[in-house]
Structure 1
Amino acid sequence: MSRPLEICAASLPSALAAQAGGAQRIELCQNLEQGGTTPSYGLIKAVRARLHIPVMVLIRPRPGGFVYSADELALMQTDIEICRDLGCAGVVLGVLTEAGRVDVAACRALIAAAGPLEVTFHRAFDACPDQLGALEAIIALGCQRVLTSGGQPTAEAGQDRLAALVAQAAGRVRIMPGAGITAANVQALAARTGAPELHASAKRLVPAEASAGLFTTPQFETDAALVAELVALLNQ
């Protein structure tokens, strides 16, 4: 089977755990509980200094939808430039129009800012009503991969669509299933979809700080043992 595994990491400890568990690449973000937002400069710099595996950085200025203002797009471009300066492997982005189509002009400008960096089009793709058309637009933009659950809450629920997307892509872009991938379903999903690589968080809930008081919030960290289990299953 042997497929690369990308781990979504939202902190330095999670990034280190992903690497220790044998992940081939990470997607670095913050605020994973809100679907992920762009990590801070400090976090990107620290992760780049400590990891020897490729680091892809999420470019998402806020939670919610993927229709962005001119000011938000300018922020995203600056964040991409920072990723270039820090030597990241790539960026993860996605911009849509009000109609739910890929915003080709906005994406093209961001991809131009990325220059030589790899570009993953993220799960904004799952908000597109016409995924077949969206995939062709993303291919035309020159993205290297698409992170998607096949338009469903989990990759397992969207596996039939994922298989169809892999077939449509025909090697022109890598379809990377993500959302709800665990040791219990990773082998079946890989076999059913034919996807060349997969994405997971391999996270566990960590105890809340005793001093958090009114500001207690659920916190998740990547677990190296869970990553290692996924990697082993994908290499059988």
Structure 2
Amino acid sequence: MSVAVEIAVQDLVGLEIAALAGADRVELCVGLERGGITPPAELVAEAAERAAALVSVRDARPQFDVHVLLRTRASTGDFLGRPEEFVHDAEEIALLAAQAAEVVEAGAAGVVLGALTPAGELDVPALTTIRDAALGAAQSAMRGLTLTEHRAVDALPDLPAREEAVRTLLGLGFHRVLSSGGAARALDGAADLAGMVRAGEELIDICAGAGIRPADIAELVRTTGVADVHLSARRRPGSAVEADAPDTPTDPAIVAAAVDAAGAL
């Protein structure tokens, strides 16, 4: 089967590493060490331009593009089972909608968003508002847009809730759901990820992300049926860095190994 590799990056150097290694796309954010927040539109524009340039000279896959994380705040704490991390008031929803339009206007090929209610359910009105802002900007630019729900679904209480979320997101026109299956590591959430894949009925992609190492990819795909994997591919703290290594947290060796592992399936 064909397995797509998405790399989370926070700078142009990381984007280039992902592209040159053969990744399928990047998720662009800033503050990657805290889980990521929305990057500035200027960075999105630069990233989209650089991605297009790499594709044009065949230094990237033909479909390589930039998806942008929409998140106004993040913390280093564990959000599993804590939907309040993704509960947004009216002011934050308006900000996220404005950011969605702004990054799409800047060239994003996709947006990654999420919102929950205090009761631990998808906040459909909030998602609809942000979605519509992004789609409106894409329509004005006369191009398509990929919609991805981020790991807010991992803060839901159990597999039935995540399965229902998948079906709801499909009805809202989303194309992909990023999830660890409600676990700290996607490999530990394999059973839930498999359930989400079944719930999607091949109509919406489930992208496995969180704590994935290249060596995990074959088993993860085999046990869950996911068609996408997501890695931050960051250098390990304290690891040796070559004198001429690029100034970015993205580790070229990890990205290359992940692409090779996915390509072998």
Q: TM-score, normalised by structure 1?
A: 0.91
Correspondence for 1:133 among 164, 168, 175: 164
Deviates more, 1:76-85 or 1:92-101: 76-85
Give the aligned residue type for 2:134: A
Give the aligned residue type for 2:33: E
Correspondence for 1:61 among 56, 72, 87: 72
Moved over 3 A (4+): none
Please report how far the alpha carbon of residue 160 of structure 1 lies from its aligned counterpart in structure 2 after TM superposition.
1.0
Q: Provide structure 1 residue ranges, at least 5 long, that are not aligned to the other structure.
A: 208-218
Provide the identity percentage. 39
Q: Provide structure 2 residue ranges, at least 5 long, that are not aligned to the other structure.
A: 53-63, 76-84, 136-143, 239-246
Q: What's the secondary structure of 1:185's corresponding residue? A: helix
Please report how far the alpha carbon of residue 179 of structure 1 lies from its aligned counterpart in structure 2 after TM superposition.
0.5
Q: Give the RMSD, CA atoms, in angstroms.
A: 1.7
For 1:195 and 1:32, the matched residues in 2 are separated by 24
Please report how far the alpha carbon of residue 135 of structure 1 lies from its aligned counterpart in structure 2 after TM superposition.
1.7
Superimposed CA distance per residue, residues 187-231 of structure 1 (whole angstroms, 9 cap, x where no aligned partner): 110111111111111111477xxxxxxxxxxx9611222211111
For 1:128 and 1:48, the matched residues in 2 are separated by 33
Give the aligned residue type for 1:231: V
8 Å CA contact retained: 1:139, 1:173: yes
For 1:220 and 1:104, the matched residues in 2 are separated by 36
For 1:132 and 1:172, the matched residues in 2 are separated by 13
Correspondence for 1:157 among 172, 188, 198: 188
Please report how far the alpha carbon of residue 42 of structure 1 lies from its aligned counterpart in structure 2 after TM superposition.
2.2
Q: What's the secondary structure of 1:102's corresponding residue? A: coil
For 1:154 and 1:15, the matched residues in 2 are separated by 24
Deviates more, 1:24-33 or 1:14-23: 14-23
Structure 1 residues 37, 61: closer, same or farther in 2, change over 3 A? Answer: same
1:233 maps to which residue? 261
The equivalences for 1:69-218 within 5 A come to: 69-115=89-135, 116-129=144-157, 130-205=161-236
- Number of aligned residue pairs: give it: 226
Structure 1 residues 63, 46: closer, same or farther in 2, change over 3 A? Answer: same
For 1:23 and 1:221, the matched residues in 2 are separated by 16
Q: What's the secondary structure of 1:158's corresponding residue? A: helix
Please report how far the alpha carbon of residue 162 of structure 1 lies from its aligned counterpart in structure 2 after TM superposition.
0.6
Deviates more, 1:149-158 or 1:50-59: 50-59
Deviates more, 1:25-34 or 1:9-18: 9-18
8 Å CA contact retained: 2:13, 2:248: no
Q: What's the secondary structure of 2:188's corresponding residue? A: coil
